Amino acid sequence: MENNTAPERKKRVLSLIQPTAVPTLGNHLGAFKNWQSMSEDYDCLFGVADLHAITVRQEPAALRKQSTEMYALLLSLGLDPDKSIVFMQSHVPQHAQLCWLLNCYTQFGEASRMTQFKEKSQKHADNINLGLFAYPTLMAADILLYQSDFVPVGADQKQHLELTRNIAERFNGVHGKCFTVPEPFIGKAGARVMSLQDPTSKMSKSDPNPKASVSLLDTPEQIMKKFKSAVTDSEACVRYADGKDGINNLMSIYSCCTGKSYEEIENEFAGKGYGDFKVAVAESVIEELRPLQENYKRFINDTAYLNECMAKGAEKASRLAQRTLDKCMKKIGFKQI
């Protein structure tokens, strides 16, 4: 007897990244490293969040260049544009359309409680625009547009995901089931990579100290130099322990790049100084990033291929997005033709 049941749809995961600066080693080991395997297990959409970038003033040529570079970087991670949807947010106008609809289902008090708005308002006091305030509603539109089951979020975005869930539940409560209520994605734990100059704070692409973070596109020479100047301690013993934030950070990076346990690392560097250890960590990072950098050089110099991938990604994303938008507009009561 033949089985006519359709195969169960994979759960859908959405990941977007802003094109404001080249991501760091922290982004890679904390999240990107797992994206390729995630794309095998889930129905994935990966996008460049260029609409989000303009809440802060951008120089037009720089925004175009950085958005293209970020798109090339996504492909360089090994994401297959035939298996996953890899797209540019601004190429899918339904994001902005759904955002307006959801603005009307978002309470002013909810939006004003977002801590990121308060922080960015202080940082950009000369440009506290409405887009900055409504940014979380655009994020909700991004997520709900694709009926996303899961969204990988860092600590700074948990509040926004909670707002997205509230908006979805409110809309569904008023109009009946329309949106999937998303959950945070808890995947394989990535490394939490700290600053090389202040190992008590997270490595950040916006750190004003160029020695503090490793960019994914840093040359081997730059990577080696940064690790050699990394902050450690005076004990000169490679071991994982409280109070050894600098060494703990380097051990975490080395473990993530080599697959070695902390115990194996301690044994490997027993009796050796920090100089040897820093060089080994730098070399492991250089090898970790080598395939990504080689892919990136190939993609960034092939404009025709990038444009082709962007067009295909936009077409696939738009097709999914339009289904949700039509359903949403019908439920609200817009006359459709």
Q: Which two tokens stand for residue 44?
A: 């994935």
Q: Rounded CA gap, 98 and 115, in Å?
A: 23
Q: Which residue has the tokens 């990535």?
A: 190
Strand-pair partners of 167: none
Q: Among 143, 222, 238, which Cα is nearest to 185's?
A: 143
Query: Which of these is catalytic: 33, 120, 226, 244?
Result: 120
Q: Which two tokens stand for residue 219?
A: 């040359």
Query: Which of these is catalytic: 118, 177, 205, 331?
Result: 205
Q: Which two tokens stand for residue 85?
A: 């949807």
**Type of residue numbered 142:** D
244 is known as an active-site residue:
no
Q: Which residue has the tokens 């080689």?
A: 294
**Residues 321 and 92 sit within 8 Å (Cβ to Cβ):** yes
Sheet architecture: strand order including 183-184: 85-88, 43-48, 12-17, 150-151, 183-184
205 is known as an active-site residue:
yes
260 is known as an active-site residue:
no
CB atoms within 10 A of CB 64: 13
Query: Which of these is catalytic: 33, 202, 226, 316?
Result: 202
DSSP calls for 68-133: HHHHHHHHHTT--TTTSEEEEGGG-THHHHHHHHHHTTS-HHHHHT-HHHHHHHHHTTT---HHHH
Report, as residue numbers or ranges, the catalytic residues: 120, 202, 205
